[in-house]
Chains A and B, each alone.
Chain A
């Protein structure tokens, strides 16, 4: 059981670290100063949650791996994040839609995780659920502003939906490890968050005058370590310092 829980915690931690890193890539490049502050702010929330999750996974695993070992010394095939979070930032529309998709999933997920049988996860969840509410609001407002904005912004947001929606189903699939942890009452059942997720997204899409996308093939594979090309580049950049200077600390 504990092995499955460790794996499932890594899936969750990797989602947060990878998406946090993606948001940090906007630092210094955002379209306006406020967003240049907002995106790294959210990145901090996500990386903070990842740290807590890695630390817990390492503790339960009991092999002496700490959060840095888990974040910096695992290769691409050992990363278990879903494909949505590793997608390149694209334009601002794609970044905001990706954020909305993920945050709208995490909100009900964290809410349910606050009654996990694992006390440490309960603590992380109770904190993160309040932070992710801000992320939903922030990303949701941008999706509305762009979707119901100018011809150009609406075209870009529609393209973002076209590009990213196929990666959302993977959020609701539980790996065998996650299923075992869910059955043991340690993690929420992923599929059970779909109703809340869809309600949030439909509300925002209606306001944004975006159509609900037609059923498409659900892209998946991240939980098994089968990633797109983009993740390797991200990890190369993120891990280079630690690999060049093992054990480097601030």
Chain B
């Protein structure tokens, strides 16, 4: 591929390879927060969506995607898209496997519901696979994660929350 290949495919590949700043094992494409890249009048326009409304990493992600596109030779611009809202269902299968391997229990493919007001979902330990786990806190080190502990292998771990 030559450096003058300024195609949409190459723009996508450049943007898609950007790692998430808080979960660097995942790329923005694995997470499903890169909605698409299109070429408009010679400018690569990347559409990015926040995971959580107040996610403090949004700006860092947008800057990183823009920088990656520029490094690949494109004039670049970011569009922040909030609708339809991002959901954990958009995390790719590959992304879920990477999360598990990294020690973060991936989200189940189900939404959050108030009907589950006091219900608990089963979260398997990403290290030993046991389902004998307990939630320590609904809110973890980033808005998208919760804290759990495995009662079988006794290791604490993080769970990527369903939303």
Contact = CB atoms under 8 A, between A and B. Distances in A.
Contacts of B112: 130, 133-134
B139 A52 contact: no
Contacts of B54: 43-49, 51
Interface string B113-156: 11011100000000000000000111111010001000000000
A124 B138 contact: no
Interface residues of B, number: 29
Contacts of B87: 130
B2 interface: no
Which secondary structure characterizes the binding site on chain B?
Answer: loop
A138 interface: yes
A183 to B, nearest CB: 24
A128 interface: yes
Interface stretch (B12-20, B27-35, B77-85): B77-85
Contacts of A38: 137-139
Interface in B76-118: 82-87, 111-114, 116-118
B114 A37 contact: no
Interface residues of A, number: 37
A122 interface: yes
A141 B56 contact: no
A52 B114 contact: no
Interface of A: 34-35, 37-38, 41-49, 51-52, 107, 119, 122-124, 126-128, 130-131, 133-134, 136-138, 140-141, 144, 200, 203-204, 207
Interface of B: 50, 52-56, 82-87, 111-114, 116-118, 136-141, 143, 147, 161, 163
